[in-house]
Amino acid sequence: MDISYIINELAEDRENYFNAIAPPIIQSSNFAFKTVDDMRGAFADEYSTYLYSRGLNPTVDILRKKLAALDGAEDCLVFNSGAAAIFAAVLANVKSGDHIVSVRKPYTWAQKMFNEILPRFGVTTTYVDGRDIENFERAILPNTTVIYLESPNSWDYAIQDLKAVAELAKAEDIVTIIDNSYCTPIYQRPIEFGIDLTLQSATKYIGGHSDTVAGVLSGSAEMIMRIFNSEYMNIGSGISPFNAWLLIRGLRTLPMRLQHITQTTTRVIDYLKGHDKVEEVLFPFDEAFPQYALAKQQMEGACGLLTFIIKADNVEQIEQFCNSLQHILMAVSWGGHESLIIPKCSGLPAAAFNPQHKEHRSLRLYVGLEEADYIIKDLERGFGMMGQ
Ligand SMILES: *Cc1c(COP(=O)(O)O)cnc(C)c1O
C-alpha cells in the first residue's frame, strides 16, 4: 500500500461525517443499540462492534487501520503509552513457569517488568547480547515462550539480525516481540522479516510534537484479537479518542519530519565527528558503526537519535557543556519538534563520575526539526563553555 494513501486516505470515510477533512473525535464512552439482538451480538463479540470505548472507538479505529497498514500488519492496537503496549504484548505470551530471552538493556520499563513484576509470577528472563545470533540459540530453554528485541537500542544502537532471530524462533515455536520505536515503520518493518509482534512508543515520532503519550502494537489478526479480548480490555490501557486524533494529525507529516531530521542529523554528526572534544559518535547509519552493514540491510533509514562521547576529565565540564546550551533542551523522550540532550552523568551521583568509563562521558542527543546550523551553533556554544 502506498504510504501517501495510508496517511491521507485509508480508513477515512468522510461521507459518514459531513465530508469533513479532519476526522471527528468521537468523545463518547458508550454506544447505543436499536434492538436486543444487536446488543446481544455486541456482547458476544466486542471486537467487531462499538459498545464501550475501553474497547473499540471509531476515532481510534481510523488510527488503528493506518498504523497497522504502515507496519504491514493485519491489525494493531493503540495503547495510552508505549510501556502499556510492551506490557500487554509480553503478558499475553507468558504463563507461570515460562522463560523469556531478551536483548540486553531493553527500554527501562521493559527491563523493570522482566526483573521485578514477572518473577513474582514465576516468569524468568535471560538477557543476551543480541548482536550475535548464537547468543539467542544458547539462551533458549525448553520453556522459552518469548524472544524480546529492541533494534536498534535507543542508547547504544545495538542491532539484532531480525530475519535470523525470526527463523530461529519459528523453529522453536517462540513468539518474537520487537520494540521498533527508533525506526518507526517508515524506516523498518519487522513483520516483513518474520517478527510476530512489533511495537513502538507513538509518543516519539508518530505523535511527533511532544504533546501525547501513546503506544502501538501490531501483529496477526489472530494474536491482536486475543490480546484485545484479554490484556487490552482488562488493563484498560487503550488510547483516548482525543489522543488518537492527535496521532492521526501527527501521522500526516511523519515521512516529511523524518526526511528533514535524517538530513539535519547527518550534518550534526559530521560536525560532531570533526570536533576535537568529541571522542566518538554512535549512530547506526554511520559508516564507522560496527553493525553498519546489518543496519543498512534491514533499515531504510535512521532517525535523529545519536550518542556521542565527549572528552572530559571531570563531570563539571560535561555539566558546563549542557548547562550552557540555549536551544537544545535537557529533557527525556525524543521524536518531537525540539532537540534534546541527556548526559549519562545525570543518572549518576556526581561523585561516582569516572572519566575512565566511556559511558559516563556519553550524551544522548536528539536532533529535532530545527535547522542544522541552529543546532550546531548551540553545540558550539556548549563546547566553548566547557573549560579545561
Ligand atoms: C519512550 C520509549 C518507550 C516507552 O514509551 P512510552 O510511550 O513512554 O510509554 C519504549 N521504548 C523505547 C525505545 C522508548 O524510547
Q: Chain centroid to CA 341: how far?
A: 18
Q: Chain centroid to CA 349: how far?
A: 28
Q: Using the mean position of ligand 1's atoms as its centre, give its distance from the Cα of residue 291 in Å.
A: 23
Q: Using the mean position of ligand 1's atoms as its centre, give its distance from the Cα of residue 44 in Å.
A: 34
State the fold for domain 254-385. Aspartate Aminotransferase, domain 1 (3.90.1150)
* 54 in Cβ contact with 236 (< 8 Å): yes
- Report which protein residue has its CA nearest ligand 1's atom 4: 82
- Report which protein residue has its CA nearest ligand 1's atom 8: 82
- Report which protein residue has its CA nearest ligand 1's atom 7: 82
Counting from 1 in the atom list of ligand 1, the atom nearest the Cα of 150 is: 13
- Report which protein residue has its CA nearest ligand 1's atom 1: 201
Q: Using the mean position of ligand 1's atoms as its centre, give its distance from the Cα of residue 17 in Å.
A: 34
Q: Is the backbone of residue 198 left (phi > 0), alpha (psi -120 to 50) or beta? A: beta
- Number of H helices and number of E strands within the chain? 15, 12
Provide the pLDDT for residue 388: 64
Q: pLDDT of 331-368, one tens digit each? A: 999 999 999 999 999 999 989 999 999 999 999 999 99
Residues ≥6 apart with Cβ < 8 Å to 251: 7, 63, 66, 67, 206
Cell of 184: 518507526
Counting from 1 in the atom list of ligand 1, the atom nearest the Cα of 203 is: 7
* 122 in Cβ contact with 251 (< 8 Å): no
User: What angle separates helix 241-252 from helix 254-273, to the nearest 10 degrees?
Assistant: 60
Q: Using the mean position of ligand 1's atoms as its centre, give its distance from the Cα of residue 199 in Å.
A: 10
Q: Using the mean position of ligand 1's atoms as its centre, give its distance from the Cα of residue 81 in Å.
A: 8
State the fold for domain 3-252. Aspartate Aminotransferase; domain 2 (3.40.640)
* Ligand 1 proximal residues by C-beta, below 6 Å: 81-83, 107, 154, 179, 181, 201, 203-204, 213, 215
Whole-number Å distance between alpha carbons of 175 and 72: 18
Q: Using the mean position of ligand 1's atoms as its centre, give its distance from the Cα of residue 373 in Å.
A: 29
Counting from 1 in the atom list of ligand 1, the atom nearest the Cα of 204 is: 1
- Interior/surface letters 229-268, b for 16+ CB within 10 angstroms, e for the rest: eebbbeeebbbbbebbbbbbbbbeebbebbebbbebbbeb
Counting from 1 in the atom list of ligand 1, the atom nearest the Cα of 335 is: 15
Provide the pLDDT for residue 350: 87
Burial class (CB within 10 angstroms; exposed 0-12, middle 13-18, buried 19+) of 385: middle
The closest of 21, 57, 7, 1 to 205, measured between CA atoms, is: 7
Q: Using the mean position of ligand 1's atoms as its centre, give its distance from the Cα of residue 180 in Å.
A: 10
pTM exceeds 0.85 for this model: yes
pLDDT averaged per 10 residues, the chain (length 388) = 96 97 98 98 95 98 98 98 98 98 97 98 98 98 98 96 98 98 98 98 98 98 98 96 98 98 98 97 97 98 97 96 97 97 95 95 98 98 89
DSSP string, 209-264: SS----EEEEE-HHHHHHHIIIIIHHHT-BPPHHHHHHHHHHHHTHHHHHHHHHHH
Burial class (CB within 10 angstroms; exposed 0-12, middle 13-18, buried 19+) of 164: middle
Whole-number Å distance between alpha carbons of 265 and 23: 33
Domains of the chain, by residue range, sit at 3-252, 254-385
Provide the pLDDT for residue 307: 98
